[in-house]
Amino acid sequence: MTSPEAPPDRPDLRADCANCFGLCCVALPFAKSQDFAHDKNAGTPCRNLQDDFRCGIHTRLRDEGYPGCTVFDCFGAGQKVSQVTFEGVSWRERPESSRAMYEVFPVMRQLHELLWYLSDVLELDAAVAVHGDARRAREDIERLTRARSDELVAADVPAVRGDVNALLLKASELARADVPGALGRKKNHRGADLVGARFKKADLRGANLRGALLVAADLTGADLRSADLIGADLRDARLAGADLTGALFLTQAQVNAARGDAATRIPAGLQRPAHWAA
């Protein structure tokens, strides 16, 4: 069971675009597709990025053909790189630092994502057995996020992720242990290809859906309480009327990528996307 109290706001792990140098709009590449209206190379500013580092079509991204932008979440890495690593000096003010800034940003994003998941672990009452390890891991990663740019680029992120993943797996098992049948084979869909699968009104309480491909899956009215959804691909998944109360490791980006409605129940701390049906 999750803590009955709403999780803290975690401002350091939420995107603060006002204090970022538009890094997701510059550092990262994207290809023309149903998610992006045009191609863009890494290190090239998006054509919609304004001089103040704001998006010129932010309120119309989906209408203008950029739904991919609406589901991206840097977990606060943008402002950390902009204001801490590079001390508030932008790539426009100091062009010679731009390459290093673009290299650091994706590294920082991965580290901040891990900090988010570790914060989730620390809010799980049932996972108290791993709280000490999770707290130490969070402190170690937080120190790394404040390192110099060259140290961040050289960091062995896969090794860090591997250590954290072991903690997340244990926390998931502890949190789902009290859900009937959750740890059995019937509800183990880890990494499964479930594209377009039909789970309408299915009982998926405590299911292991880690890394599952749920693109365009029908989860209408499904019971996903306490299901482990870390890394699950929920693009265009139908969540109308679904119950995701207490879903483990669910992120705002996953919620934004899905299609829900006013009856969809989501964990505290996540916001109902504006594009969801009323």
Q: What is the Cα–Cα distance from 3 to 219, expressed in whole angstroms? A: 25
Q: For position 130, what pLDDT does the model report?
A: 98
154: its two tokens: 């050289």
* Single pTM value for the model: 0.92
The predicted structure's pLDDT at residue 8: 55
pLDDT given at position 268: 87
Residue 4 has what pLDDT? 35
CB–CB of 25/43 below 8 Å? no
Q: What SS3 class is residue 8?
A: coil
- Which residue ranges of the chain lie beneath pLDDT 70? 1-8, 278
Distance CA 272, CA 256 (A): 8
Q: Which of 224, 157, 149, 230 is nearest to 190 (CA)?
A: 230
Predicted pLDDT of residue 87:
97
pLDDT of res. 207: 96
The amino acid sitting at 143 is: R
Sign of the CA dihedral with 113 first, then 118, 123, and 125 last: positive
